Amino acid sequence: AEKTRPSIIRVDTTIGFGAAKAGTAGVHGAPLGAQSLGDVKALFGFSRDESFKIADDVYKFYADRAAKGAELEKQWEELLGNYAKAYPELHKEFVRRVEGRLPEGWEKALPSYTPGDKAEATRKLSEHVINAIANKLPELIGGSADLTGSNLTRWKDAVDFQPETTMLGTYAGRYLRFGVREHGMAAICNGIAAYGANIPFASTFLNFISYAAGASRLSALSHLRVLYIMTHDSIGLGEDGPTHQPIETMAMLRATPNFLNFRPADGNEVSAAYYAAITNSHRPSVLSLTRQNLPHLEGSSIEKAVKGGYKLATYGSAANPDLLIVGTGSETSISVDTAKLLADKEGLTVSVVSMPCLELFNEQSDEYRHSVLLPGVPAISVEALSTFGWHKYVHHPIGIDTFGASGPYKELYEHFGLTPDVIAQKALKVLKYYKSNSVPTLDLEF
């Protein structure tokens, strides 16, 4: 038997074998019809006239299998009991992981930041988190689709999952080299999550999750905890251009039921994204991370960010804001700069809302959501992605509804009007409009 390599067994078959339309598409999605179905039954020794008939020998076969299974389960329980006596600590760890319980206090390893800390790309901040929690969560296992050096997903003392004969790792390793096969990567992670005892993660550029969409959708449909660590999340990736720059991708992911989608704006929000992704045991998550450096924001915290959206800061002196600016990811700091500009030059009071995860925000109470997105106050959003879906939350979304372009990322932000001065001018037009028109209340649930 071949024990060191996978094997492919090719079997030639005929679709609808025995039916009148055997070998054609006609038997794929349509009923065979009574006559043809009867012919197939007769061919295999069944009565033409009986439907859903289960023979006694079939019942006996499955009853015998059930008895055999019960005996195997008994043997397993005895083996596990002996293992507990011989290796009590390992048994305790094994049971914890099989039951899906996280190690007590693991979240204390999540790093937190202040505005005085150096600016870093959120993919780099993600790397800090992975290094901090990898040994606290021994069930964390995963890797990248041939982009490890860009995704920054391999922790410092990681061992590759490889046969020892390759001299590249061992089967005790937890880092997987998936290769350039995004769909296969997501499907493998689904299998690991479904089996249990491990928390899998998959990584590539955000735009390339589209190649994995069939499998990542099944993560959500099957209620599987898979972490999709997706970097290079906008035009901020720069010169690779529109083939690599996601525009509609996040809208697709946000439209997928039972999916958590994060665009963290700084280090605290990255830690919050990991906390939420790991503690939500029946939902997959996308962590959408930047290539470019971002500042750590005044007012951010892990505790606030796990609610999905929160009031970050207010600029201006009035008791109530004239305008709300909702930012996500790399555009949150741009929103802050825009708010400061409007306060300094126009005398306005502007509140900035950070919205790292719309799905978690949607799950908050009406009272909380409307304390963040204040009724009666004009609101705009800023995100370097499609504006699709934002009209539920703001009166005027600002984003990109065309494909991206190739160039240095700062020039691209200027080209697409995602700079404080341009956004401020659009904000003034929004405010002018609502001076003579009522401001509708958004994000209502009935």
Tell me the pLDDT of the chain (446 aa) as tens digits.
888 888 999 999 999 999 999 999 999 988 999 999 999 999 999 999 899 889 999 999 999 999 999 999 999 999 999 999 999 999 999 999 999 999 999 999 999 999 999 999 999 999 999 999 999 999 999 999 999 999 999 999 999 999 999 999 999 999 999 999 999 999 999 999 999 999 999 999 999 999 999 999 999 999 999 999 999 999 999 999 999 999 999 999 999 999 999 999 999 999 999 999 999 999 999 999 999 999 999 999 999 999 999 999 999 999 999 999 999 999 999 999 999 999 999 999 999 999 999 999 999 999 999 999 999 999 999 999 999 999 999 999 999 999 999 999 999 999 999 999 999 999 999 999 999 999 999 977 76
Whole-angstrom distance, CA of residue 365 vs CA of residue 359: 13
Report the phi/psi class of residue 52: left, alpha or beta, with left for phi > 0 and alpha for psi in -120 to 50.
Answer: left
In the chain, how many H helices and how many E strands?
15, 15
Task: Show the DSSP H helices in 108-181 as ranges.
Answer: 122-133, 148-151
Whole-angstrom distance, CA of residue 100 vs CA of residue 197: 6
Give the DSSP H/E element, type plus range, for residue 249: helix 249-254
Q: Are 430 and 382 in contact (CB under 8 A)?
A: no
**Cα 141 to Cα 32, 105, 271, 326, 371, distances in angstroms:** 46, 19, 18, 34, 39
> Among 182, 269, 331, 383, which one carries the catalytic annotation?
182
Is 182 known to be catalytic?
Answer: yes
The phi, psi pair for 287, rounded to 5°, reads -105, 105
Question: SS3 for 382?
Answer: strand
Chain-centre distance for alpha carbon 348: 37
Contacts of 419 (CB under 8 A, 6+ apart): 334, 413
The phi, psi pair for 440, rounded to 5°, reads -70, 145
Q: Are 172 and 159 in contact (CB under 8 A)?
A: yes
AA identity, residue 138: P
Q: Are 234 and 260 in contact (CB under 8 A)?
A: no
Q: Are 242 and 404 in contact (CB under 8 A)?
A: yes
Q: Annotate 6-19 with b (16+ C-beta within 10 A) or e (fewer).
A: eeeeeeeeeebebb
pTM: 0.94
Tell me how crowded residue 188 is: count the other CB atoms within 10 A of its CB. 19
Whole-angstrom distance, CA of residue 373 vs CA of residue 324: 7
